[in-house]
Amino acid sequence: MSVARSLPHDAAALHVTGTARYVDDIPAPAGCLHLAFGLSNIAHGTLTALDLSAVRATPGVVAVFGPDDLSPMPDCSPSAHDEPLLGGPAISYLGQPIFLVVADSHLAARKAARLGQASYDEKPALLTIDAALAANSRFEDGPRIWEKGDAASAIAAAPHVVEGVMEIGGQEHFYLEGQAALALPQEGGDMVVQSSTQHPTEIQHKVADALGVPMHAVRVETRRMGGGFGGKESQGNALAIACALAARATGRPCKMRYDRDDDMVITGKRHDFSIAYRAGFDDEGRVAGVEFVQYARCGWAQDLSLPVADRAMLHADNAYELPTARIESHRLKTHTQSATAFRGFGGPQGMVGIERVMDHIAHHLGQDPLAVRRRNFYASGGDISAKKKAAGTTPYGMAVEDFELHEMVAALEGSSDYAARRAAVADWNAANPVLKKGLALTPVKFGISFTLTHLNQAGALVHVYQDGSIHLNHGGTEMGQGLFQKVAQVAASSFGVPMAAVKITATDTGKVPNTSATAASSGSDLNGMAVKVACDTIRDRIAAHLAETHQTVPRRVHFADGRVFVGDADLSFAEAARSAYEARISLSATGFYKTPKLDWDRIAGRGRPFFYFAYGAAVTEVVLDTLTGENRMLRCDILHDAGASLNPALDIGQVEGGFVQGAGWLTTEELVWDDSGRLRTHAPSTYKIPACSDRPAVFNVALWDGENSEETIYRSKAVGEPPLILGISALMALSDAVAACGAPYPALDAPATPERLLAAIDRVRA
């Protein structure tokens, strides 16, 4: 079996030799043109005049398109048809594309794009959550509210209450490969697009829309992305559309890649949130009721903000059974980049909210936060199946039947030596006035499935050639997460052949249609299953054929080690394929999969939006210099649940990378807009993502030895997004270190930059 083995990434040999091709590496045909956008210089107002004569006169410029040159104006939105390719007359954020330059080189296009002369009637811009609230500027008519029981009464009757407001910053994806697309005009007006996208079908749909042709006239191919993290779920639409329009207008291939500064200024980021909370609890810290008001800053266009904000609500409980809860969510429209999908898709923000509540409760009672967290956990899945306890229900009414965190946290507590280190941290803090240490263990329970239920489907296309080699294709995209290798392991296991027999091929809308984005951690769950269906179909056909020729029954035909065993005979897989071909047996099949058991009403906030939950827990220890706010992670121990892992090495890689990305989000990665709405942190010089030296000095990562209680592909679990949320332990450890400076609660906002840490230290020392 090829599954459950720690094979390297499918393209590792190409990556280490520099021969893996990204969009900008694909040899473009002669005459390829290069595109760049000219950007608005104000955040809100009306474009009154746009003089593009200097742009047109620039050497190398072939064509220029302003807002008046495109009719109808193509739309780039994945949801609400509210994202014109070019802004104007309405200008909605600073950095919005307002004209498009087509030139014979990338540099010529970029230089010319700086020469547009725009005049504006500038209006006051809504840049913050508070400003948008005051102006009632929002998506949807009003806040969405989900309730479980009567939280207000439960809080009023509780012996203790904590309340507060927490700011949680956004996050730039900083995929190392910037957004990129290449359009190749075909005969009869057809278009082929190479796109760095998590969602080839959406690119196909939006390009077809922009060109005014049916989807069958557009084919989109994606071999790989240099990182996605959600930032290539919808943000590649504008580039693909621009390239296709320019390719049609000029009859020449057209390519566009954003330079890093443009990429950061133009594209959406993680939603920043403000979360107000009020919780009532008993002397042991058991929650009686919680009220959350979540404010999400969505930016200028709707994009994916509604499901992102929904997922924040859906994770407001994290691992804790809340007897009563009221969750109110405001989706605020501002004159900033349109916030978009980012690994966790709102879930992490919702979970930071409840982890803050747990931390605050523990501080209020003077108890270890881990003890308080545990007391509020859902009942163990083991206890539920043994009928010792009833399953708890989430605030949206889903029974939590697979809860594993009692066992996982106990194991992690032991392996990380939590109790002794808790005592050692207390001793250190008693002895050291300047350097304070902090320790925190935070759990993760993350719901797996798209909350828009119809997206939970996938297709695959598999061919077996007469020499026994296998062509594998499915709707998922590869962005580094190892999806292609995991799915190829599934295919090789189905046929009992070595991995070298399976050719992984680029995602292609012409092979598998109507795919969902590779998002919501669903890639291997959905596509692995679809591929298995296709492979098993072909395998069963071969088995039936060989059973007939060998006078036996199909169940006596086995595929293993590159051979096919038929009763007492055995032949190579290639001989079996050849024999089936000559008997006129089809060796090509599609596979299709849809996730079962889902039933979700997002308006009512009731039902089962998730097939299952993925779990994890992290213990992080930090040291904080209370004079400067400088800090570092000393040690991190993680235990993460990937079910019966399809590839433990790739899954551990997801966990390590996810943790570091999550810790970066909550500690060093700060996005700053100035009063005019200009993003001031638009390069790695000013936006601090974790570097090699920021990783914890001791970093122990292990996978939980278990299998998914639901029937997923080989009982594995999704692993893309959940580990990011382990990073909350770094924030809570810093809060713990600040708490060592004085009696009041630190009320630390995120990202916990040195400035915010110093402010929190001042508060607790006041």
Partner 1 sequence: MTNITLTVNGKSVSRDIPDETLLSEFLREHLRLTGTHVGCDTSQCGACVVHVDGKAAKSCTTLAVALDGAQVTTIEGLANGDLHPMQEAFTEHHGLQCGFCTPGMIMASVDIVNRYKAEGRTLTEKAIRHELEGNICRCTGYHNIVKAVESAAAKM
Which range touches partner 1 (CB under 8 A), out of 256-264, 277-285, 399-407, 608-616?
Answer: 256-264
22 binds partner 1, rule: CB under 8 A: yes
Which range touches partner 1 (CB under 8 A), out of 57-65, 257-265, 314-322, 512-520?
Answer: 257-265
Angle (CA) 478 608 638, round 5° = 55
630 binds partner 1, rule: CB under 8 A: no
* CB 481, min distance to partner 1, A: 7
Nearer to partner 1, 343 or 373 (CB): 343
Strands 218-222 and 254-257: unpaired
Binding partner 1 (rule: CB under 8 A), the pick from 656, 670, 710, 736 is: 656
Return all residues near 32 (Cβ < 8 A) that are at least 6 apart.
182, 252, 253, 254, 255
690 binds partner 1, rule: CB under 8 A: yes
15 binds partner 1, rule: CB under 8 A: yes
683 binds partner 1, rule: CB under 8 A: yes
* CB 177, min distance to partner 1, A: 5
Which range touches partner 1 (CB under 8 A), out of 78-86, 211-219, 318-326, 691-699?
Answer: 691-699
Task: Please say whether the dihedral angle defined by the alpha carbons of residues 539, 544, 547 and 548, taken in this order, is positive or negative.
Answer: negative
* CB 174, min distance to partner 1, A: 5
Return all residues near 362 (Cβ < 8 A) that are at least 6 apart.
285, 368, 369, 371, 372, 373
229 binds partner 1, rule: CB under 8 A: yes
Residue pair 654/717 in contact (Cβ under 8 Å)? The answer is no
* CB 311, min distance to partner 1, A: 22
d(CA 75, CA 255): 19
Strands 507-508 and 218-222: antiparallel
Residue type, 380: S
24 binds partner 1, rule: CB under 8 A: yes
d(CA 580, CA 558): 15
Give the footprint of partner 1 on residues 709-738 (CB under 8 A): none
d(CA 139, CA 331): 6
d(CA 297, CA 287): 28
Binding mask 80-109 for partner 1 (x = CB under 8 A): ---------------------------x--
Residue pair 532/714 in contact (Cβ under 8 Å)? The answer is no
Burial of 128 (0-12, 13-18, 19+ CB in 10 A): middle
Nearer to partner 1, 376 or 527 (CB): 527
**212 Ramachandran zone, left/alpha/beta (phi>0; psi -120 to 50):** left
Is residue 103 classed as helix, strand or coil in its secondary structure? strand
Binding partner 1 (rule: CB under 8 A), the pick from 91, 290, 533, 660 is: 660
Residue pair 324/165 in contact (Cβ under 8 Å)? The answer is no
215 binds partner 1, rule: CB under 8 A: no
Binding mask 472-511 for partner 1 (x = CB under 8 A): -------xxxx-----------------------------
650 binds partner 1, rule: CB under 8 A: yes
Q: Catalytic annotation on 721?
A: yes
* CB 654, min distance to partner 1, A: 8
d(CA 241, CA 400): 43
* CB 478, min distance to partner 1, A: 8
Residue type, 241: I
d(CA 607, CA 598): 8
214 binds partner 1, rule: CB under 8 A: no
670 binds partner 1, rule: CB under 8 A: no
Which range touches partner 1 (CB under 8 A), out of 8-16, 487-495, 504-512, 705-713?
Answer: 8-16
Residue type, 418: Y
d(CA 277, CA 564): 62
* CB 322, min distance to partner 1, A: 32
30 binds partner 1, rule: CB under 8 A: no
* CB 236, min distance to partner 1, A: 15
661 binds partner 1, rule: CB under 8 A: yes
Which range touches partner 1 (CB under 8 A), out of 37-45, 91-99, 227-235, 623-631?
Answer: 227-235
Binding partner 1 (rule: CB under 8 A), the pick from 426, 583, 691, 743 is: 691
* CA-based end-to-end distance of the chain: 63
DSSP H/E element including 89: none
Angle (CA) 65 71 76, round 5° = 80
* CB 698, min distance to partner 1, A: 11
d(CA 559, CA 566): 9
d(CA 326, CA 480): 38
- Token look-up 């808790």 returns 422
Structure letter (DSSP) for residue 217: G
Binding partner 1 (rule: CB under 8 A), the pick from 571, 598, 689, 759 is: 689
259 binds partner 1, rule: CB under 8 A: yes
Angle (CA) 173 106 684, round 5° = 30
8 binds partner 1, rule: CB under 8 A: yes
DSSP H/E element including 429: helix 418-431
Binding partner 1 (rule: CB under 8 A), the pick from 632, 699, 742, 759 is: 699
Binding mask 113-132 for partner 1 (x = CB under 8 A): --------------------
DSSP H/E element including 623: strand 612-625
Q: How many residues belong to the site for partner 1 (CB under 8 A)?
A: 59
Which range touches partner 1 (CB under 8 A), out of 4-12, 292-300, 433-441, 506-514?
Answer: 4-12
225 binds partner 1, rule: CB under 8 A: yes
* 21-25-26-28 Cα dihedral, nearest 10 degrees: 180
27 binds partner 1, rule: CB under 8 A: yes
Catalytic residue among 177, 221, 656, 721: 721
Binding partner 1 (rule: CB under 8 A), the pick from 5, 25, 131, 428 is: 25
- Structure tokens of 406? 């009692």
Nearer to partner 1, 215 or 689 (CB): 689
698 binds partner 1, rule: CB under 8 A: no
Catalytic site positions: 721
Q: Which residues bind partner 1 (CB under 8 A)?
A: 6, 8-9, 11-22, 24-25, 27, 107, 173-178, 224-229, 259-261, 479-482, 649-650, 652-653, 656-661, 683-685, 689-693, 695, 699, 701
